Amino acid sequence: MSDATLIGPWIRRFLMEHVVAERNLARNTQASYRDALALLLPFVAVRAHKPVDRLAVEHIAPEMVRAFLLYLEQDRKCSVATRNQRLAAIHALARFIAGRSPEHISWCAEVRAIPFKKSSKPVMSYLDKTEMDALLETPTRSSAQGLRDYALLLFLYNTGARASEAAHATIADLSLEGSPSVKLVGKAGKIRHCPLWFSTCDVLARLVAGRQANETVFLNRLGQPITRFGINTMVRRYADKVGHRAPSLATKEVTAHTIRHTTAVHLLRAGVDINTIRAWLGHVSLNTTHIYAEIDLEMKAKALAHCEIPTAILPRAQWRNNPGVMAFLKAL
């Protein structure tokens, strides 16, 4: 069996050369591709009765991929979104191999013909102002750990940063004087600068006092850089504690990304234009940011309050001449 037939060398080139060197994909994407293949290969090896290092490209047959996707959903209880992420990694590998090995073009076409599964998107969750205030009041700021937790929660709310962006922010990225701001490195290495409130600056200044500029801003209990998983664990812990102050939080799943959504909705309610919010959050497309305008119930309620619903059904021709009805329909 030649090296061109074995899947192992192809995967090594795919992960080390293509994903990292050629495409320079984000770290999370690199990890996602790696994890998908780390699950796929043992699955195929067991069913093909072959050692992992002797698997051929043909062993990753379309019916084997379909069986793997079914295994993810039924045995591992993965969501449809996770299933589709794993399939995207397999599609990318097939495309990479076919582009460099013409004899595998037919195999690639069959694998890439496996479709993504449609799923309903969950309703985006965000916190009202009272809920966010209650969450910020929960940490005990008199202790070092409580100060770190409060600073991190305030930082997430102020900037709308992703958990990974907050985890990788360094002290050198902070500008706490003049017009305070922070440099955030988002997806695909895209850099943006977010303004900071003076209250956020005061807390961050206390947190980073006496430390080196190349250190990350937020550290864990062992003095090591906190991870995005650690940030989400911390957020969930305080969300569980704040239940008596804001009972409505008990019905919401609160994560670092929930706070990001909260920032966007609150900016929108404050009258900030949608394009500024797009730049604030680091979205590539305005279509992504428009989601917040669609989910904000308060803005829809205001639109409803400012229009008079007619007691009788109006003819369609009169709809277009009635500003109140049109405002109501647009709000929906």
Annotation marks residue 162 as catalytic: yes
User: Catalytic one among 187, 193, 236, 302?
Assistant: 187
From 18, 83, 260, 266, active-site residue: 260
187 is a catalytic site residue: yes
DSSP-derived letter for residue 166 is H
Cβ 256 vs Cβ 231: under 8 Å: yes
Separation CA 286–CA 185 (nearest Å): 19
* Contact present, 193 and 229 (Cβ < 8 Å): no
- HEC string of 76-106 equals CCCCHHHHHHHHHHHHHHHHHHHHHCHHHHH
Q: Rounded distance, CA 311 to CA 288, Å?
A: 37
Q: Which residues on neighbouring strands pair with residue 149, listed in sequence order?
A: none
Q: Count of CB atoms within 10 A of residue 207's CB?
A: 20
The number of angstroms, rounded, from the C-alpha of 204 to the middle of its chain's C-alpha atoms is 24
Alpha helices for the chain (secondary structure H): 7-13, 27-48, 62-74, 80-100, 105-112, 129-136, 144-159, 163-168, 198-208, 228-241, 256-269, 274-281, 286-295, 297-305, 316-319, 323-331
CA separation (Å) from 243 to 231, 237, 258? 19, 11, 16
Block residue for tokens 């990318």: 92
| Terminal alpha carbon distance of the chain | 61
Asked if 260 is an active-site residue, the reply is yes
Catalytic annotation, pick one of 257, 261, 266, 283: 257
Phi/psi of residue 223, each to 5°? 80, 10
**Which of 162, 168, 266, 278 is flagged as catalytic?**
162
Q: Are 174 and 217 in contact (CB under 8 A)?
A: yes
Contact 213, 174 (CB under 8 A): no
Known catalytic residues? 162, 187, 257, 260
